[in-house]
Structure 1
Amino acid sequence: MIRSPRTAGRLRAALPPVIAWLVSQLVTWAVARASVAGDGSPVAYWSTAARRRWDSEHYLSIARGGYEMFRCRDRYANFPDVICGNVAWFPGYPMAVRAVSGTGLSYELSAVVVTEAALLGMFAVLWWLLGAVLTRATALTLAVAAVFPGGVYFHAVFPIALATLALLVCVAGLGRGSWWAAAAGGFVAVACHPVGAVAVVLLLSSALFAWRGDPWPRRWAKAGLSAAAAGCGVLWAKWLMWQATDRWDAYETIQRSSYGQGDLHEPFAEMARAYRVPFRDWYTPEGDLPWLVGHALGAHRPQLWVNTAFVLLVVATAVVLLVRERRLSVAEWAALVLTVAVFLVPFVAGAQMSWYRNHAQMFVGLVLVRRMSPWVQVPLLAACAVQYALLGAMFFAGVLV
């Protein structure tokens, strides 16, 4: 079969994100191989069970049968008198899993397919945002992407990969001046995960740096309408919950009753509480632990330091570019806004037990990593690789939720 030079060029251009995805698989497999599961058995990375943790069961239950909410004592006599059910989790990811399961795959396997397809899409969209040209800077950026802190959740039965892909599509839509792509990406991000609300913030602020070819009234109209379209992801979620429970406030009710959430928190105090969560004491596996697991049981703590350093580097890079070049591209502005917002939201919302996986959505900040000096990129890559292994081992050992 003879391919035209143009087709061959396109295939070569598509290789870097595919290679980055494969490297991510191999690194995660190696971490799993060096870990043990919570029951002391070896981790079978290629199984669906290795990728499922607490919330995974709720996402799968939504995919199978939709939403439900009930008083816990109605089913479990010795349970505290709080609300049970799965209305604390958003529908974007479970509905994608349900759609894929229509092919005949099991729900568990469908969930992994959605996750891995979304991750491959993340690398592809990031590569496009980097200019799709292989240089030292873009190669190092893809390398950081393959071991991004918290990225083990990009392989898990969670909506993190799909939500991050949606944020990247939103950034790409703004970069291209495509209202529809930006709004669609924002809608999916919001529908997948509460942290996706940052897309609404981004789109509202986009009039300040995007749509530059339009007069100001049209810029504000595009910003407002795209933000409203993204916000409809919440309305869709609440409509599905109302259909199943006859309550519009089902999400808020279970958050208050069962998780003590729903109010705003002081972010620095919440950050300190999240840092002190004693995962090691709660979920340490029994028996002799592999070296990596034994040294990873408190990996959420260095994770916070690495995440904080990443945010500061992204902000510093943006400041340097503004001083030196007096401008950022639209995609760079969008990546800056999202990175800072994703970092702050879990602490404002009080996500002590899940901030480390929510922060994985700062992946969008890699758009600005391309503009960093190699003297910054290489140490960042080393720190991310070490932390990826530590948090990954913590995940596969069943210590993280």
Structure 2
Amino acid sequence: MPGRSWEDIDIPAWAWERPQTQRLLRDRDVPGLLRLAQAHGASQTRIASATGIAQGRVSEILSGKRTVGSLQLIERIADGLGMPDHARILFGLAPRSPAAASAADSDLSGPLRERLDIASVDQSLIGLFEAQTQNLRLIDRKLGAHYLLAQSQAHVRQMHDLLRHSLPGPVRRGLAQALAEAASLTGWQALDSGRASTAWRYYEIAKAAARESDDATVLAHVSAEQVYVLLDSGREREALATLRAARNRSGTSLPALLSSWLWAAEGEVHAALGHEAETQRALEHAFSLLPPEPHDPSLPFLMLDHTHLLRWRGHCLAHLGHDEAIEDLTRALDGIAPLELGRAEAGLRTDLALAYAAHGDTTQAHRQARRAAELSDKSGSVRQRTRLARLLPQRRTSGGENVE
């Protein structure tokens, strides 16, 4: 490429032709492409210099701690890696050469035809996608979003690309439903990683896919989950209006388990607003609607039983400063701790710390906060660490002990 200097990255032409590299390009796997540059002698410092991206950010992209969504940033990476035109087309960018652009528009035997060929979807493939989403969901509950966000984003991109190249009909609707559930999970993982705007975008993908699937249950769930982006951003009133709209739009057709979940979520929003009576009424609805056998295979995205509702009620009561929160949360902790659900336990112990602090028991508040911080660090939950910092600002007891 004319004008390139000795500092530029030199990936040989044959490397761009390899099937593994072409897969990275089609999937827009930026960390994989940066590792390709490293394999051909480029250090992180050299990558940073060639792309104009700070070295620390390059390191975060390589480790999966940061994703790349900006088209401008993607263009800079393509330029910095010296990506040839045929690779740019696979990467979803316009070629630099006018001749290559004309060839790309007129030749369906190249990358575009390949995309159309792989868009053949059947129910067995959808089943595999759903199983993959469920595996990601189960691992997320155990380890947290920190380990999975990049993988979940790639999973969503693959389904989203297939959906855009699928024919209308029942199979496309099934794929849309699978995409909605996967995008919602990815939105939740992004929120847990402290990336509110990224979470919002994935929930928008989830809602659009849910509408195409024509599944009112999935649409109600993903719409209600998006409320937590508003709640975490301090927009409680908008969160309440959005949540009520999601439930009202679905009418009375929702499964009892999902209805119970929606009422519990509304109770949480009311608690954040300081609406004591409304919080209590919403939680009563949630408990009354919870089925005797709450496990529902048709709702794999919901993990809700009596123990989890106790935890939810304790969370709300802790926000309202009620001593009864300690009893609910302690009982819920007995049921959740043995399951080794790190993020859930971290949230529960954060609520316990808040409840004990309101009760005046600073020793227990400190103990629970410290354990919540340990679990949050282990799972990489930025959301829980932020909650700890916001709900339990550092304070001192009469003996000079810090309570966090």
- Do these two structures clear the TM 0.5 threshold for a shared fold by scoring above it? no
Normalised by the size of structure 1, how large is the TM-score? 0.28
Normalised by the size of structure 2, how large is the TM-score? 0.28
Computing the radius of gyration over CA atoms, which structure comes out larger, 1 or 2? 2
